[in-house]
Structure 1
Amino acid sequence: MKLLSLTLVALLLLSQLTPGDALRCWNLHGKCRQRCSRKEKVYVYCTNGKMCCVKPKFQPKNKPWLL
């Protein structure tokens, strides 16, 4: 009975763990994902082929005199 309850507790604790975070990109301001959220934009692609989703405030600003 103790083994059963110990197994049940262990499974319950493991189900509460969250999966690892996505890989970071763009100077640790972006995340490598398959799809970006509505508030994020793609500026570069990650080495694993996924998009680097970056919030607009962390993207480089366009300088009109450097076009």
Structure 2
Amino acid sequence: MKLLLLTLAALLLLSQFSPGGTRKCWNLHGKCRQKCSRKERVFVYCTNNKMCCVKPKYQPKENPWKV
């Protein structure tokens, strides 16, 4: 039983330091990363100086009628 608790505690601790954890940005549709994937584009920058990688369908469209 002690071994099980020790294993669970170690896994919980390691999950806090895993590199896969990213911060959310752009109304929770984007993720703060050093490099975006092919299907994502940079629209804004996060507060930690990383790029906010957002899928194009969640980025606002430009207004073609505005001069």
By the TM > 0.5 criterion, same fold?
yes
Q: Which aligned pairs between 1:2-41 and structure 2 lie closer than 5 A?
A: 6=3, 10=7, 14=11, 18=15, 19=18, 21-41=21-41
Unaligned runs of 5+ in 1: none
Unpaired runs of 5+ in structure 2? none
Q: Report how many aligned residue pairs link the two structures.
A: 61
* TM-fit CA distance, 1:60: 0.2
Deviation for aligned residue 1:66: 1.6
Give, in angstroms, the shift of residue 63 of structure 1. 1.3
Counterpart secondary structure, 1:64: coil
1:49 aligns with 2:46: no
Q: Any idea what the Cα deviations from partners look like across 1:2-31, whole Å, max 9, x if unmatched? A: x7xx28x718x62xx643620000001000
Instruction: Return the TM-score normalized by structure 2.
Output: 0.73
Q: What is the rounded CA distance, in whole Å, between the counterparts of 1:65 and 1:44 in structure 2? A: 23
| SS of 1:52 mapped into structure 2 | strand
* Richer in helix (by share): 1
Per-residue Cα deviation, 1:18-58 (whole angstroms, up to 9, x for no partner): 43620000001000000000000000000000000000000
Give the superposed CA RMSD: 2.7
Moved over 3 A (4+): none
Aligned partner of 1:63: which letter?
N
